[in-house]
Amino acid sequence: MQAHLLQVDLPAAAAALFAALACALLGNFLVLRRQSLMSDAISHSLLPGVVLAFMVSGARTSGAMFLGAAIAAVVTVALVQFVRRRARLESGAAMGVVFSIMFAAGVVLIEQGPARNVDLDADCVLYGQLEHIMWLAAANPGALLDPAVWREAPRQVVTLAGVLAASAVAVALFWKELKISSFDPQLASALGFSPRAIDMGLMFFVGLVAVAAFEAVGSILVIAMFICPAAAARSTTERLGAQVAVSLAYAAVAALGGYTLAAFGPGWAGMDASLTASGAIATVSGLILAVAALARVRAAPGALAKT
């Protein structure tokens, strides 16, 4: 039983956990800046990049897919900024326009030329491949103490762990700048910070996390984990440091709880059915947000009217 859990469930749960933590960490600043839709825009806009990578390389290789998705994320951020400034649109409208067009372009490209001959599963795009992440090298708990075993860890787990670490370091190094520019961009400018540069840096890491998580957990979970833990934490506390800590705790509960529900829930209920891990995790994160919002309204009945 222990070997089974290590080989099948541990790496998948770890990938979900790392993705959820990375998304929640950056999602706090998206929520504060009222740019939550940017996570939706980037996640949906990865599709044309992935399809173009298939068309150019002629194969569904991980490197080509990652590069194509990364390019699409950068293009999305640039287009949103361009449309917002040139068309003088509100940020949410600019994001909605760009991600709708990018996603539609990806759907059209799937039916064109070489892409028709590539096994591109729409379910993989939406839900990821958590259930297919296995780690056959770790046969027992003691094997985890062997450095050689970690060199055989699934690529998705290693990539997501690296992206989480990089995001955490960046947030720690630029905590003051992110905090001031999120609450008062004018004060940030007066202090010599560049709100635009900070915003672009944040969007770079948002795109990096979205691209890294796209293959493993799909676009649905990426969107949910960028928004729900941070929004739930915002309903719990008004202090940014506490908000980030609480959001990470909520993300961990959603990732591990949702994965456990998907993996073992049907068996516990005596049902001959299966649940999608990413969908279950996103559902749990939504429930956490709902409970946090209801708890705040119950504690302060006037809070809903003020928001």
Q: What is the DSSP code string of 190-235?
A: HTT--HHHHHHHHHHHHHHHHHHHHHHHHHHHHHHHHHHHHHHHHH
Banded pLDDT at 147 (limits 50, 70, 90): low
**Do the Cβ atoms of 39 and 222 come closer than 8 Å?**
yes
Express each pLDDT in 27-41 by its tens digit: 999 888 888 778 777
Express each pLDDT in 114-128 by its tens digit: 555 555 555 555 566
H-state helical runs in 58-183: 62-86, 91-110, 122-127, 147-150, 155-173, 175-183
State the pLDDT at residue 252: 95
Express each pLDDT in 63-95 by its tens digit: 777 777 778 878 888 888 888 888 777 777 888
State the pLDDT at residue 115: 53
Q: Is the pLDDT of residue 3 over 90?
A: no
Express each pLDDT in 181-239 by its tens digit: 888 877 777 777 777 788 888 888 888 888 888 767 777 778 888 999 999 999 888 88
Q: Which structure tokens are listed for 80?
A: 């949103």
Average pLDDT over residues 52-59: 74
Average pLDDT over residues 147-163: 77
Express each pLDDT in 240-284 by its tens digit: 999 999 999 999 999 999 888 887 777 777 676 677 788 888 899
Average pLDDT over residues 48-59: 76
State the pLDDT at residue 288: 94
Helix and strand totals (H; E) in the chain: 14, 0
Q: What is the CATH number of domain 2-217?
A: 1.10.3470.10
